[in-house]
Structure 1
Amino acid sequence: MHLAISLDIAATDGQAGLDFRRIAGFVRKMEAAGIDLVVVSDAAPSGARSTSPFEATTLLAALATVTDKIGLVASASTLAHQPYNLARRFASLDIISHGRAGWSATMVQDPRQAANFSRPEGFSDDDFRRRAEEFIGIVQGLWRGWDADALLFDKAGGRFHDPQKMHLLDHKGEFFSVRGPLNVARSPQGTPVLVMSGLSEADLDFAVRVADVVLIAEGSPEATKAACDDLRGRALAAGREPDAMKVLMTVAAGTELKADRVATWSGPNGCDGLNFTLPADPPALEAFADRVLPELQRRGLAQSARAGATLRQHLGLEAGGKP
């Protein structure tokens, strides 16, 4: 069973927020216990007033220097970035972390972000969906722009790269025009891991074609199994292997979280693991670390031994990067 922590660092009304020392200490504790990845978000729920001490990808770079094994995933909006810059940023983060980086892409539109980036009227739901799909496709295409052995650094022969192993994206779409390639070396794990969440029925067929990890909401055991089976069926229909995508059930955690609920979550529900969501609230982090984490370890769900060095290897995913 794979385990993830979704950590929302945006402090809303009544919360003190988290400093880097506390965040880093918590992430290191999760790493030592065998949690596979942490997903860092700097955006509070829509409509809530919030402030964040850090931008998520900047925090990821700092966490990469104080951790060795745990996967580091940051949320980044398709409204707040351009595809080329975002692809370049995550490729760099993957190099910094030695193959442990990932991008969390949500298909939920935040009107406040659109207003901050020259779109005060936002997008229609259909336009946002098409734009997000195009954006994600561009980012993944840019990540695949260099083959594993494309860069030669042959000073004597005067060859920096093998042109046959460099792939121009040359994308001209409805919303974006991007030539490529990235001016960053190939990711250590082929491509950073793509995590997707906030999926509506209209998003599912796209998600199962491109995502490495899909986060779904907690439901009854029957509903959760049905959702996981549906995603796997769609992935097979799209030509993907059963293990090419991991599905994690999201569980809201807080100070009231009790370890005895773990038995319910870890039962046979058809999913590949659990994703615990935690707010920017020190008591919630302490409760999870002191009460729930020991129970996960006792049940053998959290284990410090990991297969391989990269996040893809931790999750049992194939290396990305084929053009």
Structure 2
Amino acid sequence: MHLAVSLDIASVTGRAGLTLAEIAGFVRKVEAAAVDMVAISDSWPSGKPSTSPFEATTLIAALATVTEKIGLVASASTLMHQPYNLARRFASLDIISHGRVGWNATMRQNPREAVNFSRPEGFSDADFRRRAQEYIGIVQGLWRGWDADALLFDKAGGRFHDPGKMHMLDHKGEFFSVRGPLNIARSPQDTPVLVMSGLVEAEFDFAARFADVILLGDGSPANVKAACDDLKPRAIAAGREPKALRVLATILPGPQLTADRLDDWFETEPCDGLNFTLPADLSALDDFADRILPNLRRRDLARPARTGATLRGNLGLGTGGER
């Protein structure tokens, strides 16, 4: 069973948030316990605005320098970034981390983001969905713009690259026009891992076709398993291999998450693993590291070793070009 931790660095309003040293210390703890990935979210909550000293992609760049094996996933809004710049940023992060990076593309629209990026009226749900899907397709297309062996660096022959292995995107769609390709080579894990969250049923077909990892919302074990059982056949119907998609059930840890409640999750065999969502609060991180992780170890779920050198390898995923 795969394990992930989602850390919301903008969820605490009473203080400036965790320090880099505190976050890095926690990430190293869960790395030692063979947790597959840590996902960093920094979007504003729906209520009172909060502050954080970090932006998610900048933070995972720093975490990449103090970790060696754990996957590092950052959320980045499709409203706050242009697709070319976002694709370039994550491709660069993936090279910095030696293939351990993923992008969490949430499908939830946040009005607080829209008003800061020239969209005070926001989008209708249908328009936002179509725009986000087009955006994700552009990013993935840009990530595949260079074949792994496209760059030759043949100084004697005067050839920088093999033109036949460079692929122009030439995208002209409803919301974006992007020519491509990126000015960054293919990443060590082929492409960064695409994580999708905040899904409603209308987005299941798209996510099952394009996502590498889906984080399902918090719910009962039975409801989450039903959603997982719905997603996997959709991925196969889209022509994907059964193991090309990982679906993780989200749990909100706290004092109420007892050993018995963990047993309820494991008895229903919920999807491919669990994603534990934590606030950026030191006591919550300590509780997870000192209470929840030992329970997982006792169930042989905190694996002693990883099987791959990249996040894709550790999750047992195929290459990002297999679509």
TM-score by length of 2: 0.97
How far apart in 2 are the matches of 1:221 and 1:35?
21
How far apart in 2 are the matches of 1:67 and 1:304?
16
The letter of the residue matching 1:319 is T
Per-residue CA deviations over 1:6-28 (Å, capped at 9, x if unaligned) read 00011433355201000000000
The letter of the residue matching 1:7 is L
- 1:20 alignment partner in structure 2: 20
Q: Does 1:37 align with 2:37?
A: yes
- 1:217 alignment partner in structure 2: 217
Whether contact under 8 Å (1:171, 1:178) holds in the other structure is: yes
- 1:119 alignment partner in structure 2: 119
The letter of the residue matching 2:189 is Q
- 1:98 alignment partner in structure 2: 98
The letter of the residue matching 2:223 is A
Whether contact under 8 Å (1:15, 1:281) holds in the other structure is: no
- 2:268 alignment partner in structure 1: 268
How far apart in 2 are the matches of 1:52 and 1:299?
35
- 2:63 alignment partner in structure 1: 63
- 1:89 alignment partner in structure 2: 89
Structure 1 stretches of 5 or more lacking a match? Answer: none
How far apart in 2 are the matches of 1:273 and 1:322?
23
- 2:236 alignment partner in structure 1: 236
Greater mean deviation of Cα atoms: 253-262 or 154-163: 253-262
Whether contact under 8 Å (1:248, 1:271) holds in the other structure is: yes
Q: Spell out the pairing of 1:146-185 with structure 2 (5 A cutoff).
A: 146-185=146-185
How far apart in 1 are the matches of 2:225 and 2:203?
19
Q: Does 1:107 align with 2:107?
A: yes
How far residue 322 of structure 1 moved from its aligned partner, in angstroms, is 5.3
Whether contact under 8 Å (1:5, 1:39) holds in the other structure is: yes
Whether contact under 8 Å (2:146, 2:167) holds in the other structure is: yes
Whether contact under 8 Å (1:64, 1:72) holds in the other structure is: yes
The letter of the residue matching 1:100 is R
How far residue 222 of structure 1 moved from its aligned partner, in angstroms, is 2.7
Q: Does 1:284 align with 2:284?
A: yes
Q: 1:65 to 1:319 in 2, by over 3 A?
A: same
Whether contact under 8 Å (2:249, 2:270) holds in the other structure is: no
1:12 alignment partner, SS class:
coil
Greater mean deviation of Cα atoms: 257-266 or 41-50: 257-266
The letter of the residue matching 1:289 is A
- 2:293 alignment partner in structure 1: 293
How far apart in 1 are the matches of 2:168 and 2:41?
31
Per-residue CA deviations over 1:68-110 (Å, capped at 9, x if unaligned) read 0000000000000000000000000000000000000010000
Greater mean deviation of Cα atoms: 24-33 or 259-268: 259-268
Structure 2 stretches of 5 or more lacking a match? Answer: none
How far apart in 1 are the matches of 2:11 and 2:212?
29
How far apart in 2 are the matches of 1:255 and 1:107?
29
The letter of the residue matching 2:157 is G
Greater mean deviation of Cα atoms: 79-88 or 229-238: 229-238
Q: 1:221 to 1:79 in 2, by over 3 A?
A: same
Whether contact under 8 Å (2:219, 2:250) holds in the other structure is: no
How far apart in 1 are the matches of 2:109 and 2:101?
23
2:115 alignment partner, SS class:
helix
Whether contact under 8 Å (2:39, 2:104) holds in the other structure is: yes
Q: 1:197 to 1:52 in 2, by over 3 A?
A: same
- 1:207 alignment partner in structure 2: 207
How far apart in 2 are the matches of 1:243 and 1:133?
22
How far apart in 2 are the matches of 1:194 and 1:98?
16
Whether contact under 8 Å (1:109, 1:128) holds in the other structure is: yes
2:267 alignment partner, SS class:
coil
TM-score by length of 1: 0.97
How far apart in 1 are the matches of 2:146 and 2:321?
8
Greater mean deviation of Cα atoms: 223-232 or 97-106: 223-232
- 2:192 alignment partner in structure 1: 192
Aligned residues: 323
Q: 1:140 to 1:90 in 2, by over 3 A?
A: same
How far residue 300 of structure 1 moved from its aligned partner, in angstroms, is 0.6
How far residue 309 of structure 1 moved from its aligned partner, in angstroms, is 0.3
- 1:9 alignment partner in structure 2: 9
What is the RMSD of the two structures over their aligned residues, measured on CA atoms? 1.3
1:77 alignment partner, SS class:
coil
